[in-house]
Amino acid sequence: MEPTLAVIGLDFRTSPVAVRERFWISPARCSEVLRQLVRSEGIDEVIVLATCNRTEFLIWARDVPTAANSVLRFLTQEYQLKLCEWSHFYRLMDDVALTHIFRVISGLDSMVLGEPEVTGRVKEAWVRAQEAETTGRFLDAVMQKALAVSKRVLTETAIGFSAVSVPFVSVELSRQVLGELAGREVLLIGAGKMSERAAHYLAKAGANRLKVMNRTASRGEQLATQLGATSVPFEHKMQHVKKADIVVSATSCPQVILTRQEAEEIARERKHRPMVVIDFAVPRDIDPAARQVEGIHLFDMDDLESVIKRNAMGRQAAAEAADKIVRAEVQGFRRKLLAERVVPSIVALRQRLDELCRQELELLRKEFGPFTEDQDQALAALTSHITQRIAGSLARELKELPERAEHDVLTTVVGRLFHLEQPVGAGKN
């Protein structure tokens, strides 16, 4: 089997948040998961991208079906994947996988068209893989190019202009329920980027009575200082939730932090006055059953998606221009990637030719030698020149072939003809 770029994963298009949260991989676990996967059968290099909207395994695989089975086994053992849930996962290969990666990092495959935050998340995933030593020549080249494509899309199109962000949607949803937001009290649970951006938009809309609650008090106090807000202890959660008109929750906690029973208690004390609860977290922070409680208007990532789709209308022209750039970049980069794939074959051929020439030169010395030093050097130079000509000719042929199938055929023929032991990329990089 020839090595191949592949993406295996699920996202907001193929699965609801209830499914995505089950397969979300926390940053704390990523290094362990990366090392486990890179030791799995069929996988040479791997990057794990896990956000609220997607969990993806970016793989350089010498055998995609085997690599996919390794991912399937991992998800089954570690996340109790059921066979019926495998349908939520996509498996992309070659140019389709490359296009997907370029579109993701350029914000074209996000819930929010042109979302700027996704570039940072992909960079973080790449850095984690580099630190875990699970990425090498091939995926590094793909990620470097993807970042360059993202920069070109941002500078040459209007895709990022006035993009409707997920945090901005918190303003629209809050206004739908509460009307004007001036003087409303906001409680942020979690002190990450999502909370910070939501606070920024809500404050601009007039909801400037802000509180920040975080399990790590120092981080909560730091964000509160930045926002001009008040830091409150997580241990007093119920007390502050009851007073808030808008609650924005975006933690990395693996289980719910607000149950339906707590929501019922909050609603009773508020006499069922409306409050907006926005759950940005995956896995979700708020028990989905809380939306059944009178007065609690709960919105999670699935709800945010529908609002974002409405607001994204009219930006299609920019998206089409960006996609045109991506398609052109894929066509150019695939030739470089194909050229990279054939390097091991060219090296193996060069070594085989050197070996054959040395054998023939030894036979020549035995039959017609001994030669003078000058004659011996001339014969060695001749055999080296022949090796270079043959290997160089093959390299040019392989690099100029536009289709992978043609690469594969020529590489296979050369391997059989010269009895090369290793095909392209047969070992780990």
Active site residue 84: no
Q: Are the C-beta atoms of residues 67 and 32 closer than 8 Å to each other? A: no
Vertex 285, ends 283 and 287: CA angle to 5°? 105
Q: Please identify which of the residues 52, 84, 253, 357 carries the catalytic annotation.
A: 52
- In angstroms, the Cα distances linking 56 to 75, 160, 339, 414 are 12, 24, 26, 35
Rounded-to-integer distance, Cα 297 and Cα 396, Å: 64
Structure tokens at 200: 């920024």
At residue 188, the 3 state secondary structure works out as strand
- Bridge partners of 11, per DSSP, are 54
Tokens of 180: 């004007």
Q: Are 187 and 211 in contact (CB under 8 A)?
A: yes
How far is 179 from 218, CA to CA, in rounded Å? 34
Between helix 137-156 and helix 94-105 the angle, nearest 10°, is 50
Give the phi and the psi of residue 29 in degrees, each rounded to 5: -95, -15
Number of Cβ within a 10 Å radius of residue 80: 10
Q: Residue 334: name the closest of 87, 115, 102 by CA.
A: 102
287/5 Cα distance (integer angstroms): 38
Residues annotated catalytic, as ranges: 52
